[in-house]
Amino acid sequence: MTDAVRVLLAEDEESFVDALVVGLGHEGFDVVVARDGVEALQLFERTAPDLVLLDLMLPRMSGIDVCRSIRGRSNVPIIMVTAKGTEIDTVVALEMGADDYVTKPYRLRELVARMRAVLRRIPGEPPSAGPGSRGAGDTHAVSAGGEVRVDFDQRRVFVRDQEVQLRRKEFELLSILVENAGRVLTRDVLIDRVWGADYIGDTKTLDVHIKRLRSRIEVDPSSPVLITTVRGVGYRFETPR
Ligand code: CA
């Protein structure tokens, strides 16, 4: 396939770059990375991307200024990536001509959905993302840290590039946590989503499954950093800071 969608990713946070290069690659996108605003403009000229993913806070030149500059010469779809609490900047970015925005931390699937949506909006030939052997419904998610990758379709899990075998409920539990990375999920929500009506009231079942999951994905299961406990509330799959 020669018509993969080329994405210019302007991002200076290494953890996001790593996760996105892998995750978007799996989705069939061809990713070019710029580490600051000046490089973003240079690579924009050199690579003529189909879409720009633009972090708001970039070294050397802000995402807003990059956006303004690109808009002066191109209608390429631009998605701004903003941090929490920067609503004003988000408004400015949209005024500068960004097509959409996502707020960190975001889920890969949410980002890809927005990317496909803005790509569909451009008139003319819509570039098709994804290798030909894959269907449009394929979904992959990558934890923002890149340590854990969940292939939802094939129900496979890779931890630090090694495949790990999970039982069915463990997989479902991990999937829900990864899909909601960065957010606390209450015990009730997790129990309801994973066990639903099958749950027979043993309050320890969830904790036992969390413990097993940690033993399979954490470097040191006794001091977990991927799945953390939020005391009195529930659990959270951590995104890197
Ligand atoms: Ca940044």
CATH number at residue 232: 1.10.10.10
The amino acid present at 74, given as its one-letter code, is S
111 inside domain: yes
Quote the pLDDT of residue 136.
36
Check residue 212 and report its DSSP letter: H
pLDDT, tens digit, for every residue of 36-56? Answer: 999 999 999 999 999 999 999
Number of domains into which the chain is organized: 2
Quote the pLDDT of residue 36.
97
Rounded CA gap, 78 and 50, in Å?
A: 9
**Ligand 1 centre distance from Cα of residue 161 (Å):** 26
Quote the pLDDT of residue 144.
45
100 inside domain: yes
Q: Are residues 84 and 164 in the same domain?
A: no
Quote the pLDDT of residue 138.
39
Q: Tell me which residue of 12, 18, 30, 33 sits closest to 161, measured CA to CA.
A: 18
Quote the pLDDT of residue 240.
59
The answer to whether the CB of 51 falls within 8 A of the CB of 7 is yes
Q: Are residues 160 and 219 in the same domain?
A: yes
Q: Which of 64, 85, 120 is the last residue of a domain?
A: 120
Q: Are residues 96 and 155 in the same domain?
A: no
Q: Which domain holds residue 170?
A: 141-237
Q: Which of 120, 154, 185 is the last residue of a domain?
A: 120
Q: Are residues 94 and 154 in the same domain?
A: no
230 inside domain: yes
Q: Are residues 111 and 167 in the same domain?
A: no
Quote the pLDDT of residue 41.
96
Q: Are residues 48 and 153 in the same domain?
A: no
**Ligand 1 centre distance from Cα of residue 54 (Å):** 9
Rounded CA gap, 221 and 226, in Å?
A: 10
**Ligand 1 centre distance from Cα of residue 55 (Å):** 6
Check residue 4 and report its DSSP letter: P
Q: Are residues 109 and 12 in the same domain?
A: yes
Q: What is the CATH number of the domain that holds 91?
A: 3.40.50.2300
125 inside domain: no
Quote the pLDDT of residue 86.
66
Beta-strand runs (E) in 44-196: 51-55, 78-83, 100-104, 140-142, 148-151, 156-159, 162-164, 184-186
User: Which residue numbers in the chain have pLDDT < 50?
Assistant: 1, 123-141, 144, 241
Quote the pLDDT of residue 73.
87
**Ligand 1 centre distance from Cα of residue 58 (Å):** 5
Quote the pLDDT of residue 221.
93
Quote the pLDDT of residue 82.
83
**Ligand 1 centre distance from Cα of residue 75 (Å):** 23
Q: Are residues 156 and 97 in the same domain?
A: no
Residue with tokens 């290798």: 131
**Ligand 1 centre distance from Cα of residue 101 (Å):** 14
The answer to whether the CB of 13 falls within 8 A of the CB of 55 is yes
